[in-house]
Amino acid sequence: MPHDFQNLMPAIALRTAHPPLPQAPGPVGVDPFGCTADRLSDDQALIGKDVQFYRKSSLGKRATQVEMPATDRGVLLGVSLRGGHRRRIFDGRHGRTHDFDNGAIYLRSLAVDYKADFCSDFDFMLVEISRTFIERVAIERGAATPELQPLAAHADPVLAHLAHAMVPLLQHPEQACQLFVDQLSLAIGAHLVHRYGHGTALPEDGGKSLRRLPPRSVERAKEMLAARFDGNLSVGEVADACQLSRSHFTRAFRESTGQTPHQWLIERRLERAYALLRDTDLPLAEVAVSCGFCDQSHFTRVFSRATGVTPGVWRRGAAG
């Protein structure tokens, strides 16, 4: 797995509380991707400014065909969340059949008309990415703006892992952390530019993009993160305060602290939780809210993952 993604992986299992991201309106008739509403068993969405995540599945409700006219919305990445899907994709009058294993992807420009016959049920994570976002990621990584290579039924373990990380957030949008969603979007964009950009090499720049943040910028970033303990803070806001691009800031913060911004914030929450559990008699539900978790259940999951014991067991051990 490329270096850029290795240190991001531990944060993916964590879910942090904040007010839900804006949701797409429920489909009426046919959705923006040509799927008929009554043929979908799952239809979930997290909508951002430049990157939008959807889960679309037809399990038990056979979808037979989709048609989508060209738009200027950017590119669409589809990641199959289970194996066994087959579809016939048409190019004019000619069609080609593709079999999608679990984790197989397709990638296409939304500026081209699309038509496909579905030969079986499907379960896909769709990531709609604006052209502006792709251009910005390419520039920040020192590459020319690429035309992304169209693909169908192509194995990509990195994108499969990132797509599966979004599943619980689409199921529980109230637990979606803006900081984490931003980081995941940047990881997906960087991987697409690096792996599928036509003729776009990403040469090493002598470590310039991975250099550490100046101490003043590190402290500024930490102050901003700590001040928004619920995690409802975007990478872009912190990066702007440090006068850096988002991807440069995320990499440089990790080089400086050994953690992504999201991981650093989780550790600070846990530190506050240790102090409250040890020094106060606050109920666990109040400790959870005071530390930026959405509820006691969420607090218990994160705490147990970090320590190996529940908050109640930890508190009894600290008192004894």
Q: pLDDT for 297-312, tens place per residue?
A: 989 999 999 999 999 9
pLDDT tens per residue across span 264-292: 999 999 999 999 999 999 999 999 999 98
Same domain, 267 and 128: no
pLDDT tens per residue across span 90-142: 987 789 999 999 999 999 999 999 999 998 889 999 999 998 888 888 867 66
Per cent of the chain over pLDDT 90 is 42
Let me know: does 45 contact 128? Beta carbons within 8 Å. Answer: no
The identity of residue 79, as a single letter, is V
Same domain, 185 and 42: yes
Tokens of 221: 């970033």
Is 107 a domain residue? yes
User: What value does the mean pLDDT take over residues 19-29?
Assistant: 47
C-alpha dihedral over 25, 30, 31, 33, to 10 degrees?
-170
Same domain, 70 and 172: yes
Non-local CB neighbours of 223 within 8 Å, separated by 6+ positions:
none
| Angle in degrees, CA 61, 65, 70, rounded to 5 | 130
- List, in sequence order, every residue forming a beta bridge with 237; answer none if it has no partner: none
154 pLDDT above the threshold of 90: yes
Let me know: does 116 contact 63? Beta carbons within 8 Å. Answer: no
> Of residues 209 and 8, which shows the higher confidence score?
209
Least confident piece of the model among 11-20, 64-73, 165-174: 11-20
How many structural domains does the chain have? 2
CA 147 to chain centre: 22
Same domain, 169 and 286: no
Q: Which of 196, 227, 260 is the last residue of a domain?
A: 196
Same domain, 151 and 211: no
State the sign of the Cα–Cα–Cα–Cα dihedral 165, 167, 172, 174: positive
Its domain, for residue 224, covers 204-320
